[in-house]
């Protein structure tokens, strides 16, 4: 399985050098829809009616999808086949001989995808226990939406969401909002939703609006904890954690940020111990088994590779 960011996917689209199968995952439906639209742009506008097929899970079968992918492009080098809500095709509510045959045809296509087509499956949660899903994950280039890896990613996310609501936001305001939320997408989404409601009668959102809704400018860098853990700097990570907690951050939110660090920043050899530490800390926080600050400090030390 090869995993790329939406930015890398857009670079591939711009180059025209596409992979045969993509799986667009994530909990950001807006970004997923934007990715699907971007894949359509590979085909010239005047030829899309002949070379772009868009299906919706539940309304189309996997056999229809594969037949579309097998169809040769017309007056274009590539055919684009997009399946929205693909999880409904991959895990049909009603199992039958027909759906079983469709899954077999789909797996056969994955074993030897055709070079003239790019099949883009846009999905939410997938049942990884299913054989077809496992084979798809092995073959597809996975585009993960809703992942914020830098302040610039956060700014872009804010601008897209605000624009989708028919508003604009000053660059400094988008930067401030992204900086205060850090890598916590849940917090960022909530801040943007409140901000849009607050500024519903305005055409543009400014820094003052962000400060009114999201609070005063942060006195610390929420990304600093992640950077220190990634580098294994235990002392610095503890200092940054203290600043985060003293600013009033809720322990569950901090745990969510640390989980993001584990998912996106740690080396594979550090993952098993890190995931175990995350689950243990989550259980302790929910059961109030100890001081919350001490629990998070212990977790940060473990993520930095310090034996406790």
Is residue 38 within 8 Å of residue 82, measured between CB atoms? no
Measure the CA–CA gap between 142 and 164, rounded to whole angstroms.
25
The residue-averaged pLDDT of 8-37 equals: 89
Q: Which of 146, 123, 118, 107 is nearest to 42 (CA)?
A: 118
Model confidence at 166: pLDDT above 50: yes
Angstrom distance (rounded) from CA 173 to CA 195: 11
The residues spanned by each domain of the chain are 2-145, 151-214, 228-303
pLDDT band at 83 (very low <50, low <70, confident <90, very high): very high
pLDDT band at 51 (very low <50, low <70, confident <90, very high): very high
Question: Residue 219's pLDDT is what?
Answer: 40
CATH number of the structural domain 151-214? 1.10.8.60
* CATH 3.40.50.300 is the classification of domain 2-145: yes
Strand, helix or coil for residue 63:
helix
* Neighbour-count burial of 265, counting CB atoms closer than 10 A to its CB (0-12 exposed, 13-18 middle, 19+ buried): middle
Q: Which residues contact 214 (CB under 8 A, 6 or more apart)?
A: 176, 177, 180, 181, 191, 194, 195
Quote the pLDDT of residue 308.
67
**Full-prediction pTM beyond 0.85?**
no
How much is the pLDDT for 268?
80
Mean pLDDT of all residues in 241-266: 79
Q: Which DSSP state fits 250?
A: -
Hey, do 2-145 and 151-214 end up sharing a CATH topology, with the first three levels equal? no
pLDDT of residue 287: 82
């Amino acid at each position: 399985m090869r995993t790329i960011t939406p930015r890398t996917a857009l670079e591939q689209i711009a180059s025209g050098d596409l992979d045969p199968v993509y799986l667009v995952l994530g909990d950001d439906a807006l970004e997923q829809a934007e990715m699907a639209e971007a894949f359509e742009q590979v085909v010239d506008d005047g030829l899309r009616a002949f070379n772009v097929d868009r299906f919706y899970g539940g309304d189309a079968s996997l056999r229809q999808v594969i037949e579309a992918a097998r169809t040769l492009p017309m007056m274009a080098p590539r055919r684009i086949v997009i399946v929205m809500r693909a999880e409904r095709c991959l895990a049909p509510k009603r199992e039958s001989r027909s759906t079983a045959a469709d899954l077999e045809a789909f797996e056969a296509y994955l074993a030897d995808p055709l070079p003239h087509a790019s099949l883009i499956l846009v999905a939410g949660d997938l049942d990884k226990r299913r054989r077809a899903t496992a084979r798809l994950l092995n073959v597809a280039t996975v585009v993960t939406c809703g992942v914020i890896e830098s302040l610039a990613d956060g700014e872009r996310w804010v601008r897209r969401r605000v624009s989708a609501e028919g508003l604009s936001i000053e660059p400094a305001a988008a930067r401030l909002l992204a900086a205060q939320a850090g890598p916590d997408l849940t917090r960022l989404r909530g801040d943007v939703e409140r901000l849009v409601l607050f500024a519903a009668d305005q055409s543009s959102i400014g820094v003052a609006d962000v400060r009114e809704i999201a609070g005063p400018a942060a006195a610390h860098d929420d990304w600093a904890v992640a950077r220190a853990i990634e580098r294994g700097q235990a002392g610095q990570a503890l200092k940054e954690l203290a600043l985060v907690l003293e600013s009033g951050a809720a322990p569950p939110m901090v745990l969510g940020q640390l989980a993001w660090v584990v998912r996106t920043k740690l080396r594979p050899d550090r993952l098993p111990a890190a995931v175990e530490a995350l689950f243990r800390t989550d259980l302790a926080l929910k059961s109030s088994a100890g001081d919350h600050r001490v629990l998070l400090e212990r977790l940060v030390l473990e993520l930095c590779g310090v034996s406790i």
